[in-house]
């Protein structure tokens, strides 16, 4: 039976942070009708894709899923269980914002089937949180992590952002120190990225905010890798670190080129080499489900070469390129060809190379995107 991951998009949020480019709605007027629509979509796609597949992970993202009631999230999860084979050890993650849950609510989320929490902290620094327009403070963030732990969650992830305007090495290190002092098993550390259409992008274009340079970004990233590794966190992807046994299975499905189905507004899917995506606007999404029995706004059937390039890129950004898997998917000599290009271009000092695994080393992760692009040209 083939593994399948499921993504559920909950667009509702009470605030739009300046850096966020995900589809979200800053009100809760359509909550009830959205529940009806997304359950219908799950049933419709279940008829098409449930055969021969077993759901190994579910991820509730947003938006702010933790603003919903546990029963709301539970109804959606039960719909997935009704339509698809569901693994007994299925990883079920919910994104959570500090201040949106307390211990009692977290217990209720556990009772409806959530077994992994991903908390969007971003920073423990007051000035940085205010810049990012987060709705919480450091104390609330710490309390949320501890409440999750006390509620019985054994798998707790937090998100942090580095290279913020005005951020110093010491400020970033203090964020990492606080993070590893908490009962967390997974840390996602992202460099601040300027996305088109965000409030932050306009602030930069208007000259109100000046971003720090790429050299300092690389310095902070290198320090992150070093500090988290020394603190017992294994780096298993460019931006993700986990204690042994707590790598996020849902993320690994993406990076290992597995199948995933996305439900809800703006959700993306990848099934059998075909990529497709849903309408973003809530009203259009719901109407499409009612009238067309489908929320798909567009699709792309990848060529063999496109699939090969994506497979290699995703593998190298994560735990490494496996020769046997590459050979099973594509051509017999692809692995040797890529190793040969690495040697010819003088990139061998950025990789750990064995007979059947090719992986970026610590130095390679810092310049991975540039190197991978060169290899695939």
Residue pLDDT, tens place only, 92-112: 999 999 989 999 999 999 999
Domains and CATH numbers, the chain: 2-255 (3.20.20.70), 304-376 (1.10.10)
Residue 328 has pLDDT above 80, yes or no: no
Of 74, 86, 76, 81, nearest in space to 40 by CA: 76
Q: What is the mean pLDDT of residues 286-298?
A: 97
How many CA within 13 A on the CB side of residue 274? 10
Q: Report residue 176 CA to chain centroid gap.
A: 19
Q: Kindly report the length of the chain.
A: 377
Q: In whole angstroms, give the CA distance from residue 321 to residue 353.
A: 10
Predicted confidence band of residue 160 (pLDDT cuts 50, 70, 90): very high
Please provide the average confidence, as pLDDT, over all residues in the chain.
Answer: 92
Token pair for 31: 């909550």
Residue pLDDT, tens place only, 232-263: 999 999 999 999 999 999 999 998 889 999 99
pTM: 0.93
Measured in degrees and rounded to the nearest 5, phi and psi for residue 87 equal -65, 140
Q: Report residue 287 CA to chain centroid gap.
A: 28
């Amino acid at each position: 039976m083939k593994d399948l991951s499921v993504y559920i998009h909950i667009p509702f949020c009470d605030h739009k942070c300046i850096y966020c480019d995900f589809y979200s709605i800053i009100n809760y007027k359509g909550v009830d009708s959205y529940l009806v629509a997304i359950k219908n979509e799950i049933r419709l796609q279940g008829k098409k894709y449930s055969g021969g597949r077993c759901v190994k992970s579910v991820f509730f993202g947003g938006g702010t899923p933790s603003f919903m009631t546990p029963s709301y999230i539970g109804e959606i999860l039960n719909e997935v269980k009704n339509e698809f084979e569901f693994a007994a050890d299925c990883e079920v993650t919910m994104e959570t914002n500090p201040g949106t849950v307390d211990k009692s609510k977290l217990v209720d989320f556990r009772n409806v089937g959530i077994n992994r929490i991903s908390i969007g902290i971003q920073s423990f620094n007051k000035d940085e949180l205010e810049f990012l327009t987060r709705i919480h403070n450091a104390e609330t963030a710490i309390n949320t992590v501890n409440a999750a732990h006390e509620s019985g969650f054994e798998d707790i992830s937090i998100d942090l952002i580095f290279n913020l305007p005005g951020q110093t090495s010491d400020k970033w290190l203090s964020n990492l120190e606080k993070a590893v002092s908490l009962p967390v098993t997974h840390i996602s550390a992202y460099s601040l990225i300027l996305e088109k259409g965000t409030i932050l992008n306009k602030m930069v274009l208007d000259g109100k905010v000046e971003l720090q340079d790429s050299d300092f970004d690389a310095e902070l990233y290198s320090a992150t890798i070093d500090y988290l590794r020394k603190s017992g966190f294994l780096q298993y992807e460019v931006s993700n670190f986990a204690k042994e046994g707590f790598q996020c299975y849902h993320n690994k499905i993406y990076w290992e080129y597995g199948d995933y189905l996305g439900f809800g507004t703006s959700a993306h899917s990848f099934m059998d080499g075909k990529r497709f995506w849903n309408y973003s606007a809530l009203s259009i999404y719901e109407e499409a489900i009612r009238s067309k029995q489908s929320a798909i706004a567009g699709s792309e059937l990848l060529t063999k070469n496109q699939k090969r390039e994506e497979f290699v890129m995703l593998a190298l950004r994560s735990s490494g390129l496996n020769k046997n898997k590459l050979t099973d998917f594509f051509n017999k000599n692809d692995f040797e060809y890529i190793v040969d290009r690495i040697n010819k271009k003088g990139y061998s000092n950025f990789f750990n190379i064995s007979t059947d695994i090719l992986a970026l080393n610590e130095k390679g992760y810092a310049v991975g995107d540039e190197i991978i692009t060169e290899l695939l040209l």
